[in-house]
A and B are shown apart, each in its own frame.
Chain A
Amino acid sequence: MHTVHTGETPAVSLQLLSPDGMRMRSAELDPWVADIEAEDLAALYRDMVVVRRIDAEATALQRQGELGLWPPLLGQEAAQIGSARALRTDDFVFSSYRENAVAYCRGVSPTDILRVWRGTAQSGWDPYSHGMATPSIIIGAQTLHATGWAMGARFDGADSAAVAYFGDGATSEGDVSEALVFAASFQAPVVFFCQNNQWAISEPVGLQAPAGIAGRAPGFGIPSLRVDGNDVLAVLAVTRLALHRARTGGGPTFIEAVTYRMGPHTTADDPTRYRPANELEEWAEKDPILRLRRLLDSLGLFTPELEAETQTLADSTAAELRAGCIGLPDPEPLTVLANVYATPHAGLDRQRAEYAAYLASFDPTGGTDA
């Protein structure tokens, strides 16, 4: 068993696909992907190419001034697609800001993914419509929310699970440790999915976790797995394993997906100030998409049809994203005061009336009270 129980972070990660696209055998993981057929591999490939394209298009939109900011997921496609494709619709995701490929898998439209980054809304979608909470900008906070949701699922006798997505940097926040305590104490059906992309803005993972990340959870009483996060098959397998454990009364599982943030922290960041130049090249060799493509190739599955169809889907998604983004209307001024409370609030009602009158005073036609 690779599952960590010792509190030590294993040096190697679980793998089903080597960087050159060889299918590795693993007695522990193989059963969890035994049902994966050629068309499933093709679907995973398509997903990863499309989300990389969404990411590139959003980065371009930011450069063109259409988005305020964008946090690229470049390099983390396998970690996000492999885990999100293991989920059921009745599961619930509590993520950070970078999990845009997870949102895509949860059925969030590309335009809705962009709303927050264009600054037209603070939540791009209705969490209940997609089984995915509004991404948390406060680092680590969502791990507690996932734990509480999972506690509720257990109390309700449901077999749904919560997944908390967070980064290597987040593991330093008190909230994350507290979430691990609660999850263990209440045997909550929650999967802690940590994408260790090696960096928290300019800080290397060694500053957050000198002894590694995966080794921490066992000290809280939570079994832990360390997986090659650029291997979409292995990620799918470990997430399925963890979800199965959650659904069958086994409580929480911690997964460290070892991956790499190939881009800047956000479009506002300049990684050349802190990142060794050769690092990107090393990780480019382990590119998650290239790896699956090599496997498909070796199996004779990387057909011209698959390539063309993937390209078409990526192109149309990017076009939809661009048009949707540029077409997003600015919110109506008075919505600035809407939805602070669920029920009427006298103080705020007064401020809204005052501001409506103020706005009307600029309107030569006399204006209307919106």
Chain B
Amino acid sequence: MTMITEQNSSAGAANGQAPVPLTETKTLTLAKAINAGLRRAMLDDPKVVLLGEDIGTLGGVFRVTSDLLAEFGPNRVIDTPLAESAIIGTAVGLAYRGYRPVCEIQFDGFIFPGFDQIVSQVARFHYRTQGAVRMPITIRVPFGGGIGAAEHHSESPEAYFTHTSGLRVVAVSNPQDAYGLIRQAIASDDPVLYFEPKRRYHVAGPVSPELGAPLESARVVAAGTDVTLLAYGALVSTATDAALAAADEGVSIEVIDLRSLSPVDYDTVEASVRKTGRLVVTHEAARSGGLGGEIIAEITERCFDHLEAAPVRVTGFDIPYPPAKLESHHLPDLDRMLDGVDRVLGRRR
């Protein structure tokens, strides 16, 4: 099924140990889990091609595409010229011909030169052509802050895309989901924005070769009875820590990893809120117009009668991402999440 040529496969072998697809559960970092998922998808479908800046020889600035050029060759792992609009725009053309392009945007803040192609083209083709043209394009975006970076390297632009009809949006939080969801995103006949929590790239965890729960599903990370705490991406681990800390004080928090940001798995969220009666949503992105407000509105419509208190948002401020020395004041941390929990429990203000 694969298009690996003699030359390419020997180049792969020359690169070190002959790569074997994931066949059993292994401990991988989140970055390596994505790499394994990309590789599996490329082996399974010769139409899967990767495009991006520095993704070939260098293996990407985060090394997520390491070794794939050697294995699959330059027609499938494409170091593109430095132009995001062209990366997305040429992916559209490739998709027209039946390819399944996977685009890497080097950092969240660099997606905007490609924004027009995503919003005006990628998102609309299926609707525009009454279903005749599909855009099975995956756009991988390292996102979020907490790494002390320069401007444009720590952004959380997901709400622009959840607001754009025609796009699916996911954000992964752990190696297992990273592996399963990248494969499902690539297999999807819809365009998928796939957000990678860059500050968790090097955190390792078990990864089994399964696809896991469906693309659209949220996951209850820790069961609880008093408060539902909703997070995605890098904040899932902070939320889990917050739940442990709250448990010490006798407060039982149910942590949900949203995974899919569009669509949102409201059934899972609603079931939790019906149980706890209290909802806190957290994200790094700005509060106004953010996903938190939207989720709270939908849950309020669905189960207002089950709410014991007004839901609470714990988010970044409505500011451009600040300089590194100030980012700890912008990013929701454990204390701010617990403060939000206190507020929804009526213990403050």
Interface residue ranges, A against B (CB under 8 Å): 68-69, 97, 116-122, 137-139, 169-170, 172-175, 200-203, 207-208, 268, 273-274, 330-331, 333, 335-337, 340, 347-348, 351, 355, 358
Contact = CB atoms under 8 A, between A and B. Distances in A.
Contact of A200 (B82, B149, B319): B82
Contacts of B56: 202
Nearest to B84: A173
Contact of A174 (B54, B85, B323): B85
Interface in B26-72: 53-54, 56-59, 61
Given A169-B82, A208-B81, A336 B150 contact: no
Contacts of A333: 326, 329
Given A202-B57, A333-B329, A172 B151 contact: no
B322 interface: yes
Given A118-B325, A203-B53, A173 B82 contact: yes
Nearest to A139: B82
Contacts of B323: 116, 119-122, 331
B219 interface: no
Contacts of A201: 53-54, 58, 61
B152 A137 contact: yes
Contact of B150 (A137, A139, A173): A137
Contacts of B109: 137-138
Interface in B192-208: none
B326 A68 contact: no
B288 interface: yes
B61 A336 contact: no
Given A201-B53, A358-B339, A336 B329 contact: yes
B346 interface: no
Contacts of B320: 340
A208 B53 CA distance: 11
A117 B148 CA distance: 10
A347 B318 contact: yes
Contacts of A274: 57-58
A68 B318 contact: no
Contacts of B324: 68, 118-119
A119 B330 CA distance: 14
Q: What is the interface residue range for chain B against chain A?
A: 35 or more
A138 B325 contact: no
A174 B113 contact: yes
A82 B41 CA distance: 51
A172 B150 contact: no
Contacts of A119: 148, 150, 323-325
A169 B319 CA distance: 30
B106 to A, nearest CB: 9
Nearest to A351: B317
Nearest to B116: A174
Contacts of B150: 68-69, 97, 116-117, 119, 137
Contacts of B53: 200-201, 203
Contacts of B59: 273
B287 interface: yes
A337 B82 contact: no
B57 A170 contact: no
Given A174-B113, A175-B113, A336-B322, A355 B82 contact: no
A347 B81 contact: no
Q: Which of B110, B287, B288, B318 neighbours the largest number of chain A CB atoms within 10 Å of its CB?
A: B318
Contacts of A355: 317, 329
Contacts of A121: 323
Contacts of B83: 172-174
Contacts of A122: 151, 322-323
24 contacts: A68-B324, A118-B324, A119-B323, A120-B325, A121-B323, A122-B323, A137-B152, A169-B81, A173-B83, A174-B83, A201-B61, A207-B79, A268-B61, A274-B58, A331-B323, A331-B326, A333-B326, A336-B317, A336-B319, A340-B318, A340-B319, A347-B318, A348-B318, A358-B336
